[in-house]
Amino acid sequence: MSTDRRKPNWEPKIIVLMCDWCLFSELDRADLARVQAQPNVRIVKIPCLGRMDPMYVLTALQEGIDGVLVAGCHLGDCHYKRGNFMAENRIAVLQTVLETSSLKGRTKFAHISTAERGVFPRLVEEMQQKIGALGPIEEELT
């Protein structure tokens, strides 16, 4: 999709579905605050991504959110032992479905931990650039 069809001053709306345990230290709060200060980005914390229903992602996209970033613990580091394995399987199925639709490229699944200072804001920025190149989702839904 060409970016020249974008509305003037358009900024992609991004939702981040994030495990409550992957960024929990005092140092992580600065990264979280920096991302939350952006008016077009919303962070939704989930106790564990193993409890995340892929319908959350689909619903967000259907409601006009331009992109969804799903961030969870690294494999083997889940507070609840197997939640990130369950989430990874669900996201893989979801991405397979989305790859065959007009919503291709509007979701990303990333592993992150509190030991990776500065990675989270970079992930969000990369997502914004990627979605910015795709343009508003409303063009895909119409």
Residue 1 has pLDDT above 50, yes or no: no
> How does residue 7 score in pLDDT terms, banded at 50, 70 and 90?
low
Identify the CATH number of the domain defined by range 11-141.
Answer: 3.40.50
Residue 77 has pLDDT above 90, yes or no: no
> How does residue 123 score in pLDDT terms, banded at 50, 70 and 90?
very high
Angle, nearest 10°, between helix axes 83-99 and 54-62? 40
> How does residue 74 score in pLDDT terms, banded at 50, 70 and 90?
confident
What confidence score (pLDDT) does residue 131 get? 95
What confidence score (pLDDT) does residue 89 get? 87
For residue 123, the Cα-to-chain-centroid distance in whole angstroms is 9
Q: What is the mean pLDDT of the chain?
A: 85
For residue 91, the Cα-to-chain-centroid distance in whole angstroms is 11
